Chains A and B, each alone.
Chain A
Amino acid sequence: MTSRRILVTGLSTYWGGRVAQALERERDVEAIVGVDAHDPTVELERTEYVRVGHQHALLRRIVRAAEIDTVVDTRLVVDSTTTSTRLAHENNVIGTMNIVAACSGPESPVRKFVFKSSGHWYGCEQDDPAYFTEEMDRPHPPRTPIEKDIVEAERAVHAFADATPRASVTVLRFVNGLGPTLGTAHTRLFALPAVPAVFGFDPRYQFVHEDDIVGCLEFAVRRDLPGIYNCGGDGVLVLSEVVDLLGKQFAPVLPPWGTGIAAGLAGRVGVRIPPEMLRQLRFGRGLDNRRLKAAGYAYRYTTREAVQAHAEALRLRPLLRGGDEPYRYEREVEEFLRRSPTVRMRPEPRWEHAEGDLDAYDDLDAAALVDLLPSLPRADLEALGRHEATNARRPEVLAAIGRNLARTRPLSGRDQESS
């Protein structure tokens, strides 16, 4: 199913904002509505922002009124340092319940639901497998508040998927994210000159770059991927290796016994180590990412490359500090720019798949390329025609492009090529 009218929750979160930006560049997408309790933090061109409460109670009316066919739920709090336990629970459990309820019902227009979940769903235990696959259950009941929330939220989503066979429901379980703009408990720890660890442990860590987080979510919107998918970069590093790549000092200062108390003391001096992270620092976690790769997603960063990219960003941070003005959302300005008849210079939509990334088509063999052509929109066909004529010049491909162009020729006389 092609998504045309999309609702993005958690617009103010990093992921929500980036996903909305990415979807804005999709030609087929007619409308994007973003909801959140806070203002967006990134600049958006055509996404409509609606402020809602933490519980997302009135979402049903928005979904019905805007005839939303796809919901991208990026709002789950997976890092307990970002907000209080109570607010996280409100958002994660009650919020998910209400969002799912807003999409349910026989007359609901929603046909696709993409849910951003977390690897914390699997927990972190001594007797874990080295790689969790999607079919595995949690071996133990959740231990930390945030894990409880995530398990409960996912349960609501799975119940929705079971009750709504017409909708394709995707659950993406992400490993810890890493990247220049991402602020998590882990990135704050990695920004310290010495990275604290638990003495006698060197846990296995897997990361996903922030661009891949957005990439996975966008991929799930663009394709039909019903089911659960793990999202994480290739490769699992040990913490000492991560710290080494970051160019920091590995400091195993947390005692193996009474670690919780020590972490509490560290919190007093400003180094916050939440309970779910404490478990990771001890036992580590790896996710088997092959299912999403088999579905066609190509990660841009391996775990190692994500760490390296993060290290580069960390080195640049002191130089860039205060460099750019952070984006501030002003409702009146946004409304004026979008709706006022006085505005004459509206920004041109920046469509994706511009010319330039067409080189990959040269490597396809002619028969495969000809089979692919009918699925391309007219503009892409034209671009590909020009590209083929200047590069590979395969006659059968050029002929097939001509045939497809003739078939999709618009009826209006404005098109120059129709003369």
Chain B
Amino acid sequence: MADVTTQAFSPLDHLNLTVGGPSDAGVSLGERRFVGKLNLRVTPAKIPPAINDLLGGPLPAVGQVTFGGQVMTAWLGPDEYLILTEPGAESALQAALLEGFSGQHVAVTDQTDNATIIRLAGGDARWVLRKGIAIDLHPRSFAAGNCAQTMFERAQITLIQVDDAPSYELIVRNSFAPYLWSWLADASQDVGVRIVRL
């Protein structure tokens, strides 16, 4: 009988990426693998306190992200949010959220396997990102704690600025991930790119 084992793999595994690169590289590129992703549809005016405790604070305002300890919540629409958790923690959080809403008309959908996260960081990250994105990334209009859903060249992404390094996280569908990775790696050649394991 065949030895059947299940092994999680990321959409970038087949690129056989080698970790490393110049120490003075302008940007670093890495994949945050298997991060839990929950889509929450809810009327923002009706949030029980238990939910704020689970998410580490109130839901984010328009175009904002909230960082609540182990979870990060991004605004997607007037009644839609994306919750990012540690790998493997999504099922427990999904159950806890549904219990916290106790029968209220909401939807909590596990979208973990729908997308992956590419992290682009470093002094030249904004310069690289600007090549493929049309929105204004100047700190006065897009800073740490902001998020936006937009097109990166031909790929639809959710963009989050995590810190002022600046570090960006690009949430992209699995099927577009190799395209986006290759695009970013190529666009980063001018400033030097270091591949990191996250």
Task: Please indicate whether A and B come from the same complex rather than being unrelated chains.
Answer: no
Q: Which residues of B contact A (CB under 8 A)?
A: none
Residues of chain A whose beta carbon lies under 8 Å from any beta carbon of chain B: none
